[in-house]
A and B are shown apart, each in its own frame.
Chain A
Amino acid sequence: MNYDCLIIGGGISGLTCGIRCQSAGLSTAILSAGMSALHFSSGSIDLIGYDRARRIVHSPFEYLKEFTGAMPDHPYAHCGVDTVREALVFLRDTLKAEELEIYDNGERNHFHVTGMGTLKPTYFSQRSVFNDSIRQAFERRAKIAVLNFEGYRDFYPELAISNLLKNELFKNVEIVTGRLVFPDYGDPEKNPFEYRSIDIARIFDTIQYLDEIAEQIKREAGDAEFVAMPAFIGINNYKKHHQILQMLTGKLIYEIPTLPPSILGMRLDDALKSRFADLGGVLIAGDKVMGGDFLDGVLDHVHTQNYGTTRLRARAFVLSTGSFFSGGLVSDSGGMREPVLNLRMSATSPRNTWYSPQFLDRKGHPFFEFGVETTGKLNPFDAEGKVIENMFCTGAILAHYNPIGEGSGGGVAVSTGYYAANQIIKACGK
């Protein structure tokens, strides 16, 4: 099999890269081993949320100018601020084409509420998580009702509210809670008290329960003007059903990201995959790259678990297999490595310095910053230290950034995927 571009890793970085390549007319394939980190994400895209002193960043692009100057190895410095901006516009337009509407705050960060009631600066959110009506209601100090299904184990409104009320922004806001009960739909095989967000999303996706749910929302929310619920208001029909629910209840209904599985992340995943397929991209799901061979200093082909001896060839390869969690990087008691091609890693310190003494250290642990070393063009080095010109690394596999500590995970994934695509398109003469 032969492609212009073969992308290994089907997370947000690989998908962004693939969509960009395919839309420029390159024949593109994405190999994906399984569910990506999107399924565990907040579903918002963070660009840069915190500066190096852990202060909140309000104008990310302005801050990035100074930041990339001071951090020359940072993936954002490799991409350049203009490319980062372009990449995010590209992502927003791509999602819009799939009718997934994104809220942006005109080049400024906004906050989304977390499941623990803390506020997180982010750049893009889905419109069910943040939009101008929510902002206005909030500015009016409108009463909020946080509603949850009775017995849903993965969200406890009381814990979130107690933290929210400690925030200056929520001073004098009245927040109440209420309980919804699952609509009666016979005797389900699975214990309803073990439902995860995905099970509840399926209920919302089914139109016949909406009236009953709307009645319950009205009753429980009382005179609250807006209603917050864990993000489980459907996957396939969420947009329509969200509107119907708002209409039936006369209330603003908005979603709070939950424990995984992340319905918000799954919507992004679905939209991006659908876009890639619509453009004619090839998605090879459930397969894993086992290794590859070089010819004349460039990567000639890779082979996978399922294709066995069949070689997958491409003019350019992208490795976006994620960090340790996703298996893009592995470690043992002796050190860390990149398992597919043994690419050169950034210098890693002794094992007892990989982590911070406190688990909840807000700076993030040092191990987050380890990863594959690349050139400014995102080309990795082979084990001998030679640059691999037809290969690019993007997303969480990269070294020199701290996705959670900086609040930059989504932004780096999208920007590096987009930046790699630009170079591949150019190299292929398109």
Chain B
Amino acid sequence: MKRIDTEAIVIGGGATGCGILRDLALRGIKAVLIEKNDIASGTTGRNHGLLHSGARYAVNDLESAQECIAENRILKKIARHCIEDTGGLFVTLPDDDPGYHRKLMEHCKYAGIPCEELSVGKALKIEPNLNPNALSALRVPDGTIDPFRLAAANILDAQEHGAKVHTHTFVTAIIQEGGTATGVHCHDTRTREDFEIFGRIIINASGVWGQRICALAGIELRMFPSKGAMVIIDYRLNSVVVNRCRIPSDGDIIVPGDTVSLIGTTSKRIEYSQIEELNVDDGEIEVLLADGEKLIPNLSRTRVLRAYSGVRPLIDVSGDVDGRTISRGIVLIDHAARDGVEGLVTIAGGKLMTYRLMAQMAVDLACKKLDVSRKCSTHREPLPGSELTMLPSKHIKYFTGIPQSVVGSTLYRHGERVRQILSLSKHNYALICECEMVCEGEVEYAIRNLNVKDLVDLRRRTRIGMGPCQGELCSYRAAGLFTRLKVATSDESNGMLIDFLEERWKGMKPILWGDGLREAEFTYWIYQGLFGLGDVAMRGEEGDK
């Protein structure tokens, strides 16, 4: 069996795991990351992409609020191309307790979060789609963050500093020798190859799946998964983040992001056994749309693009199994101290906003164990793409000849790396996805440099298939490119096209009406009516039997 030797093994390719890998790499520690699916395919890629100011937590959870505002400031410096500094509003509607407005202001002040009182007229000027019946508004430094880009940029930097990544790879066992975890046994689901990785420390950063990883090491760790559903609207209805100024509840935030807006979220405790099969039910959609419409009335006349859900990894810290002491905060567990298993660390809880801080905490502990003295630098080193060296207008000039929309979109998604992606060859900037302005060069760059193994991975790196048409033409084109670039066989390309369409269908089914239904009819017409792709899918299933 193949054997890899390294210093640190990171389990989990969410934002935290990716952040850890980068932190390790920047501190000169050899590291390998294992992810069972794709980078940012779990909870990281299934939230509302809010760059918290911390205001949402200010009243109930001071510690989280303070962490958020500190990380907010850091991320605005190091992750520019993953972030939009839109600003955010907290809006009190006629149904809401007007006293909460004052309370929120006071707590923000206490937590050190800038919070400015606005007249409703001023708020409407900033956000014309806002409900004009609002009673009051506060402005806070909320923003938006693209979790896919953030995770991928961390990985990219880590790899450029020598780290290794295995996506689509499961951990099947934790190898232990005399009470010390020394390595992991893995299975690559794409190559169907088994291999082992040995290292001096294993960092379990697999979020809600951390319970399973611990179980592999014979350790009991209880997670209390909570499902959050979200709905995506097919237009960017708001330019700033709009929050409902009330005690946190369902459907109280609308976040703009890329070309869409997103209504979040619900919160529902689910059984641990359900974490792989998340669905969104009609009730959740109704609540989100009804509450969203209260904040932005135009929403009821806008097409719903998708619905999806993620699972929050709430963790029980006491070892107490009834879940009374669940924390939403960051939990760092040294299993040597807690369970007598040396060489294994779990980092869990927290949130996307605090991924970097969590990584720093985990790597600080790892360094102590490995006797490495180098300090964390992730709070000041910009991520690849975020080194602000050229203004957008200069880029447009630099790429004269290429449509501005293509340059702009590529720059928006990849920051300064745009110069490795675009070239003046007409082939390079031909559009593959017209909705999201993804050109052939970007597809090629993502496949070659960003650990893209299939079309679903490609969507996370480029937004291909995420626009209004949900992959009508671009998914076929991109599948063809995998073969043309000789990174997949024809059969593999056909298979990934089928998988991609089925994956898109999951988010379309719950909101299949209006223009969404029209689009689905057209897409089915193309892929089954014109292409007979269902016949290929069926053959694939038979082949598996």
Contacts and interface: CB of A to CB of B under 8 A. Distances in A.
A163 interface: yes
A404 interface: yes
Contact of A116 (B429, B489, B511, B532): B532
Contacts of B537: 358, 360
Interface stretch (B26-34, B197-205, B339-347, B494-502): B494-502
A65 interface: no
A158 B483 contact: yes
A267 interface: no
A159 B493 contact: yes
Contacts of B317: none
Interface stretch (A68-76, A326-334, A383-391): A326-334
A351 interface: yes
Nearest to A195: B430
Interface stretch (B106-114, B127-135, B519-527): B519-527
Contacts of B521: 323-325, 367-368
Interface of B is mostly: helix
Interface string B283-301: 0010001000000000000
Given A40-B522, A154-B473, A330-B514, A351 B282 contact: yes
Contacts of B520: 355, 365
Given A193-B426, A194-B430, A325-B522, A162 B529 contact: no
A42 B514 contact: no
Contact of B427 (A193, A323, A358): A193
Interface string A131-164: 0000000000000000000010111101101110
A193 B484 CA distance: 14
A95 interface: no
B490 interface: yes
A341 B491 CA distance: 48
Interface string A333-367: 10000000000000000011011011111101101
Given A42-B530, A259-B476, A362-B538, A331 B517 contact: yes
B74 interface: no
Contacts of A351: 282, 512-513
A355 B513 contact: no
Contacts of B510: 352
Interface in B24-65: none
A173 interface: no
Given A40-B525, A114-B531, A153 B430 contact: yes
14 contacts: A40-B525, A118-B535, A153-B480, A156-B476, A159-B479, A259-B530, A260-B526, A325-B521, A333-B511, A351-B512, A351-B513, A352-B282, A357-B509, A359-B504
B533 interface: yes
Contacts of B526: 40, 259-260
A281 interface: no
B525 A162 contact: no
Interface in B426-475: 426-427, 429-432, 440, 473
B332 interface: no
B432 A153 contact: yes
Contacts of A354: 512, 517
Interface string A248-280: 000000000101100000000000000000000
Interface of A is mostly: loop
A151 B530 contact: no
A120 interface: yes
A136 B533 CA distance: 27
B473 A259 contact: yes
A192 interface: yes
User: Which 6 pairs across A and B sit closest by C-beta, in order of nearness?
Assistant: A156-B480, A118-B532, A162-B490, A193-B430, A359-B505, A116-B531
A418 B518 CA distance: 27
Contacts of B518: 324-325, 327
A115 B430 contact: no
A116 B512 contact: no
Contacts of B512: 351, 354-355, 367
Nearest to B476: A259
Contacts of A355: 509, 512, 520
A63 B101 CA distance: 71
A163 B540 CA distance: 11
B536 interface: yes
B192 interface: no
A257 B513 contact: no
B517 A367 contact: yes
B539 interface: yes
A409 interface: yes
Interface of A: 40-42, 114-116, 118-120, 151, 153-156, 158-159, 161-163, 166, 191-194, 257, 259-260, 323-325, 327, 330-333, 351-352, 354-355, 357-362, 364-365, 367-368, 403-404, 409
Contacts of A194: 430-431
B528 interface: yes
B402 to A, nearest CB: 9
B236 interface: no
Contact of B524 (A151, A154, A404): A404
Contacts of B514: 330-333
Contacts of A191: 426, 429-430
A162 B489 contact: yes
A311 B190 CA distance: 64
A348 to B, nearest CB: 11
Contact of B528 (A119, A357, A362): A362
Most A CB atoms within 10 A — which of B426, B518, B521? Answer: B521
A120 B532 contact: yes
Contacts of B479: 156, 159
B534 interface: yes
B164 interface: no
B212 interface: no
Contact of A151 (B430, B504, B536): B430
B417 interface: no
Given A158-B483, A191-B426, A354-B517, 10 more contacts: A40-B526, A116-B536, A118-B535, A158-B480, A163-B490, A259-B476, A333-B513, A355-B520, A360-B501, A404-B529
Nearest to B506: A359
A409 B480 CA distance: 28
B168 interface: no
A360 B427 contact: no
A156 B483 contact: yes
Contacts of B513: 331-333, 351
Contact of A360 (B484, B517, B527): B527
Contacts of A193: 426-427, 430, 440
A151 B502 contact: no
A260 B527 CA distance: 11
B77 interface: no
Contacts of A154: 473, 476-477
A83 B387 CA distance: 71
Contacts of B483: 156, 158-159
A312 B432 CA distance: 44
A12 to B, nearest CB: 14
Contacts of A331: 513-514, 517
Contacts of A158: 480, 483-484, 490, 493
Contact of A364 (B484, B524, B533): B524
Contacts of A40: 522, 525-526
B502 A162 contact: no
Contacts of B535: 118, 362
B491 A162 contact: yes
Contacts of B429: 191
Nearest to A404: B529
Nearest to A191: B426
Contacts of B480: 153, 155-156, 158-159
Contacts of B530: 41-42, 114-115, 257, 259
A369 to B, nearest CB: 12
B529 to A, nearest CB: 5
A330 B531 CA distance: 26
Nearest to A188: B426
